[in-house]
Structures are given as structure tokens and as C-alpha cells.
Amino acid sequence: MGKEPDLSHAEWRTSSLSGSSGQCVQVAFLGKDVAVRDSKNIHGPVLMFEGAAFAAFLGAIKTGQL
């Protein structure tokens, strides 16, 4: 992930569990990487994660480790 990712064609997704408050994060799957942004600031910074690291993070949440 050395260079800036091209997010121009990213398909941002919001969890259906986030409700209608508008205060959530959005994710976009970009090949082997995952982009994460704040839904309230869609033009703000984007965090990038390797897919395996993001999957491990989600797994830790689902099992109650986080």
C-alpha cells in the first residue's frame, strides 16, 4: 500500500445495523485492501488496511475480544 489508493470508483458501504443516525463508518473493498472513512466527513481522511488485518479486526469484534 505504498502509493495513494484510487478511491474514485470505490463503492462505499454502510452497515445496515448503523441505523439512521448518520454517525457511522463506511467501508470500501479495493482488491486486497479495505478503505474506511467517517460517514459524516466523506471528503476527509481515509484509513487503509490490508484485507487480512481488517478480517482479523472484525473477527476479534465478533468473538468479543474487542
Q: What proportion of the chain, given as a percentage, has pLDDT over 70? A: 91
Report the distance separating Cα 20 and Cα 17, nearest Å: 9
Residue 11 pLDDT more than 90?
A: yes
| pLDDT at residue 1, as a whole number | 53
pLDDT, average across residues 41-58: 94
| pLDDT at residue 2, as a whole number | 61
Whether the full predicted model's pTM is greater than 0.85, yes or no, is no
The answer to whether 49 and 32 are in contact (CB under 8 A) is no
Cell numbers describing residue 38: 467517517
Q: What proportion of the chain, given as a percentage, has pLDDT over 90? A: 65
Kindly list the domain boundaries of the chain, sorted by start residue: 24-62
Residue 35 pLDDT more than 60?
A: yes
